[in-house]
Amino acid sequence: MVRKMGVYAVLAFCLYGLFFYWYLFYFADASLPFEYQGSKADPSTFLNGRELDLSGEYSKIRNLLFFLSTPFEWLFYFLILLFGFSKAFKRWADQSAKYKMLRMPIYLIWLSLFAFLATFPLSYISYSLSRTYHISTQTFTSWMKDELIDFWINYATWLIIVPVLYWLMKKSKKRWWLYGWLLSVPFTLFMMFLQPVVIDPLYNDFYPLQNKELETKILTLAEKADIPAKNVFEVNMADKTNALNAYVTGIGSNARIVLWDTTLNRLNDNQILFIMAHEMCHYVEKHIYFGIAGYLLLSLLGLYLTYKIMNWAVRKWGKELKIDDVRDIRSLPLFFMILSMLLFAASPLTNLASRYEETRADKYAIEMTKNPEAAISSFQELTRSGLSEVNPPFLVKIFRYTHPSMLDRISMLEEYEIKHRNQ
């Protein structure tokens, strides 16, 4: 039975992968609708022939890797349970630690290490792909450093969460999901507060914007929007990527607007001011706090569903999965697998909410700057630098895109430009 379940799982993953390969490379149509051809959203008007070809190739492969990576994690955790590795991790932890409090950290390091090694090939392929298409400029050593930072941050996070979670399971078999969620609220807010000042600097160097003339323009724009901003930060990204970006991060007194130095190097002041106005909208309309509230509500539902599905799975297949009790640490891969599945299933909804906020931010920015030419050209340059698809396939858009497609964004700006040109 165990061998049959393993074969079926691998076969299901292969069929899933073949479906998305067929969908992305043969079925999905990323060409522009007729009415947009020749418009400023048409990539043929601002990309050369080679850039168009590279954009199509890169997007298809990158999208395929995205659709393979998350289900591969599910397969990994399922096989870890099915073939007794989770049971072995617990045995190794029990044998190597005299003190009980050390056994869970040892179990976690084994599980984390095996997960890192299993997913490393896909991560490396993604890194190599971005290097091949000149999106990434990062050396292997620098990339590997970031991967190891990810590993230890994730391990440290789970080292805090998992012991508390399984202690709650033992204390309250039916309500642990609720108590776990209540504790996650302050923890989430605390991590959001720490993110800009503790976690982000582990990866890159942050410093106040060096171009003081541009900083004055940005702060004037912030004052116009009633934002009490004192500093804009730039981050050194040119050693890692050719892509452009800007974002808002953190909460409370640690909230900050960040510009990549690649953005500063490749866009002019008017284009940057449009991008800054876009980011200011997230502050003005409190999108970060709505996002946190939405995340917490979804996590409540997610933990409840995880509780129900874990109990059902252990009742039905506990013997095959080598799990006697949900409250046993051996069930952790099952917890991770179910949680990942639920996050993937929820991504169309969360992405839809994010795209709505980003559309609001685009409209806010163009109303504030009233410079559609700068806005359109900034999006065109973003498309070029990241070899982005202007009109992604439907499944790619709903599962991957937290921002509107460039077709939607540029065509909205072009409509604004036409409307105000005739006034």
Binding-site entries: 278, 282, 358
Q: Are strands 256-260 and 246-249 parallel, antiparallel or unpaired?
A: antiparallel
H-state helical runs in 195-268: 212-224, 261-266
3 state SS of 13: helix
**Residue 417 is a catalytic residue:** no
Binding residues for Zn(2+): 278, 282, 358
Bridge partner residues of 190 (DSSP): none
DSSP track, 43-101: GGGTS-HHHHHHHHHHHHHHHHHHHHHHHHHHHHHHHHHHTTHHHHHHHHHHHH-SSGG
Give CA separation, 258 vs 120, 170, 212, 227, 410, in Å: 29, 43, 15, 15, 23
**Residue 279 is a catalytic residue:** yes
Q: Going edge to edge, which strands form the sheet with 256-260? A: 206-208, 233-235, 256-260, 246-249
Which of 89, 118, 91, 109 has its CA nearest to residue 162? 109
Contact of 206 with 199, CB cutoff 8 Å: no
| Token output for 42 | 């048409």
DSSP H or E stretch at residue 259 = strand 256-260
Catalytic choice (261, 279, 328, 408): 279
Phi, psi (deg, nearest 5) at residue 225: -95, 10
| Token output for 195 | 């993110």
User: How far separated are the first and last CA of the chain, in Å rounded?
Assistant: 73
What single-letter amino acid sits at 126? S
Catalytic choice (73, 261, 362, 408): 362
Sign of the torsion angle spanned by Cα atoms 73, 202, 266, 403: positive
**Residues known to be catalytic:** 279, 362
